[in-house]
């Protein structure tokens, strides 16, 4: 299966996709990675996780107005359902996303 580009995944996915805008040099992003993975697995795969490196996808980051990272946007069929920036606790993130599954 060919790897879809992030833009296609965002615009075409029938499932909710949580996009994690991050960079390798970003400490808070690294802190959030295990939290994101735990939350996604607790939601039973109902939300897919797409990690998007802002250094590799500057135009996509710009398109969605990402000015600071980490930043999270939940998409479904290209529409933004929810967005939030910064560090979140696992409980906060889980509670916010539960409303969309």
Q: Is 26 a catalytic residue?
A: yes
CA–CA separation, 80 and 50 (whole Å): 14
- Decide if pLDDT at 1 tops 60: no
What is the pLDDT of the chain when averaged over all its residues? 94
Strand order in the sheet with 71-76: 47-53, 16-22, 71-76, 79-85
3-state SS class at 10: helix
CA–CA separation, 94 and 96 (whole Å): 6
Residue tagged active-site, from 11, 23, 26, 94: 26
Q: What is the pTM of this model?
A: 0.93
Q: What is the pLDDT of residues 28-70, one digit of tens each?
A: 999 999 999 999 999 998 999 999 999 999 999 999 999 999 9
Q: Is 35 a catalytic residue?
A: no
**Listed residue (23, 15, 30) closest to 97, CA to CA:** 15
pLDDT value, residue 45: 83
């Amino acid at each position: 299966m060919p790897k879809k580009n992030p833009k296609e995944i965002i615009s075409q996915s029938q499932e909710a996709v949580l996009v994690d805008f991050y960079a390798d040099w970003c400490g808070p992003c690294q802190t959030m990675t295990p939290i994101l993975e735990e939350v996604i697995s607790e939601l039973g795969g109902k939300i897919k996780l797409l990690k998007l490196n802002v250094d590799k996808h500057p135009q996509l980051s710009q398109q969605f107005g990402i000015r600071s990272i980490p930043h999270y946007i939940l998409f479904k069929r290209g529409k933004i359902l929810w967005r939030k920036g910064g560090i979140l606790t696992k409980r906060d993130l889980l509670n916010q996303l539960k409303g969309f599954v």
